[in-house]
Amino acid sequence: DAKTTQPTSMDCAEGRAANLPCNHSTISGNEYVYWYRQIHSQGPQYIIHGLKNNETNEMASLIITEDRKSSTLILPHATLRDTAVYYCIVKGSGNTGKLIFGQGTTLQVKP
Amino acid sequence: GAVVSQHPSWVICKSGTSVKIECRSLDFQATTMFWYRQFPKQSLMLMATSNEGSKATYEQGVEKDKFLINHASLTLSTLTVTSAHPEDSSFYICSAHPSGGTETQYFGPGTRLLVL
């Protein structure tokens, strides 16, 4: 599975959009981009995933560049409860695809 | 939907004893479940892949005789930490991959183990 690179930490003002970048320049054609987040002392929470098209759900939007070498997770209106570690993970398809976690981005939403 | 539970949520045990942690998928069947360990201020580390009805596959460096995994049904996987020592104190988290083609894994809330 391809490796990802994320900034170590980011700040965001409450109510503003949080844009979290991720580089995955070695991604293969059949690998998905997944985003999870982990609030302190809890299990990771699934946010969104995509293959090549942009995706949106009730939590966030995922923008994947045309060459698929990078992506951005957008939380449109960040709240204090969005403070967490956000993990960008690239995974192959199928049940055997393991999620390998990097260090993630610690997002601090400030009042 | 897609809820995964773990039991217990926290456990304290004496050094040398064994501890069993359960991971259940509550509203879906999971052919494959995964076990992770997380030390303070670190990321999740994959320990093993648990497949229903077959032996677990362990990641490099994880002792299979120390961390016994059983996946006896499509909704339950167990991790037993045998002869626990203080260095086994950690946050243990499971995830479940729904059977039937969906690409998403769902995580349990974690079990905090403290070995005295």
The percentage of residues in chain B with a pLDDT greater than 70, rounded to a whole number, is: 97
Whole-Å CA distances, A105 to A6, A30, A58, A88: 6, 25, 21, 9
- CA B23 to chain CA centroid, nearest Å: 6
- Predicted pLDDT at A96: 61
- Predicted pLDDT at A64: 97
**A25 has a chain B CB within 8 A of its CB:** no
Per-residue pLDDT at B18 exceeds 60 = yes
- Predicted pLDDT at A2: 64
- Predicted pLDDT at B52: 86
Going by the DSSP 8-state scheme, the letter that residue B87 receives in this structure is: G
Beta carbons of A96 and B32 less than 8 Å apart: yes
| Residue range B61-106, pLDDT digits in tens | 999 999 999 998 999 999 999 999 999 999 999 999 888 766 688 9
d(CA B49, CA B53): 12
Query: What would the mean pLDDT of A48-65 be, rounded to a whole number?
Result: 95
A contacts of B91 (beta carbons < 8 Å): 41
Q: Which one, of A45, A26, A55, lies nearest residue B44 by Cα?
A: A45
Whose tokens are 């009730």? That residue is: A58
| Residue range A84-107, pLDDT digits in tens | 999 999 987 654 678 889 999 999
Beta carbons of A42 and B109 less than 8 Å apart: yes
Question: Which tokens is B48 given?
Answer: 């093993």
**A52 has a chain B CB within 8 A of its CB:** no
Query: What would the mean pLDDT of A4-14 be, rounded to a whole number?
Result: 96
* Closest-CA residue of chain B to A39: B109
Per-residue pLDDT at A62 exceeds 70 = yes
Beta carbons of A95 and B44 less than 8 Å apart: no
